[in-house]
Structure 1
Amino acid sequence: MSVRLISDENISWRLKKLLPDWDILPANEIDIENRVSDIFIWRFAKANQYHILTFDEDFSELQNLYSFPPKIIWLRTGNCSTAEIANCLKKELFTIGAFLQNDELGLLEIHF
């Protein structure tokens, strides 16, 4: 299963190194000279068939306005390391895969 995610700017770019089989694009690599806005990330994800991995409630609000795609995986956690995020995503791979294949769901909250 191919998982294509844009990770928002609050998630370390190192995540893609910890999940080499996943297609993870850190938001700061979309435009390396500028901080990209949430709406820019949203539009880029939609245009390029990515989904969004975020800690940020703002993407949920964008989805309420514009529907989906892109789908959102919302990490609902306190402070944790990038390794802990990677381990959680690996554990939730089946759930994430089912979510991404379900045409009726647009938001997956992951608590850990």
Structure 2
Amino acid sequence: MKLLLDENLSDRIISQIVDLYPDSVHVKTLGLINTDDVIIWDYAKVNDFVIASKDSDFHQRSLLYGHPPKFIYLRIGNSPTYKIVQILRDNFGIIRQFVSSEVESILVLA
């Protein structure tokens, strides 16, 4: 299970979750900063990533197109990096179940 973190999340999160989410990356690492959401969506789909973002545009896209890719919607407003790391770590079991689900496309975490 690997996450693709959108640009509205800090790239410093990756080093703090890689033990639970190996091969996860940030869009910055892939050179996808300021890239259209469609390109990020397609990249995640082709490369088997789960998108994690605070961007409601991905939420809309997920409702419209379903999965893949799966989408984790972090409805947390302006939160410090440590809080986002805590949410991703504390919800690992829930995220794992979500990724395994045949029917679910969106997981909302707050």
TM-score of the superposed pair, with normalisation by structure 1: 0.89
Shift of 1:6: 0.6
Q: Name the CA distance, whole Å, in 2 between partners of 1:88 and 1:103.
A: 23
Q: Name the CA distance, whole Å, in 1 between partners of 2:14 and 2:39.
A: 21
Q: Name the CA distance, whole Å, in 1 between partners of 2:87 and 2:65.
A: 28
Question: RMSD across aligned C-alpha pairs, in angstroms?
Answer: 1.3
The alignment partner of 1:74 has SS state of: strand
Can you list the C-alpha shifts for 1:40-69, whole angstroms capped at 9, x where unaligned?
Answer: 100000000001000011001112332210
The alignment partner of 1:14 has SS state of: helix
The one-letter code matched in structure 2 to 1:75 is L
Moved more, 50-59 or 78-87: 78-87
Q: Name the CA distance, whole Å, in 1 between partners of 2:74 and 2:16.
A: 17
Structure 2 counterpart of 1:8, from 6, 9, 23: 6
The answer to whether the 8 A contact 2:6-2:51 is kept is: yes
Q: How many residues align?
A: 108
Can you list the C-alpha shifts for 1:43-101, whole angstroms capped at 9, x where unaligned?
Answer: 00000000100001100111233221000000011221111111111110110011000
Can you list the C-alpha shifts for 1:5-55, whole angstroms capped at 9, x where unaligned?
Answer: 1110000000011112123211122226x6211111000000000010000
The alignment partner of 2:99 has SS state of: helix
More strand as a share of residues: 1
The one-letter code matched in structure 2 to 1:74 is Y
Task: Extract unaligned runs of 5+ from structure 1.
Answer: none
Task: Extract unaligned runs of 5+ from structure 2.
Answer: none
TM-score of the superposed pair, with normalisation by structure 2: 0.91
Runs of 4+ that moved beyond 3 A: none
> Identity of aligned pairs, percent?
31
The alignment partner of 2:83 has SS state of: helix
Which structure exhibits the higher relative contact order, with contacts defined as CA atoms closer than 8 Å and separated by 6 or more residues? 2
The alignment partner of 2:11 has SS state of: coil
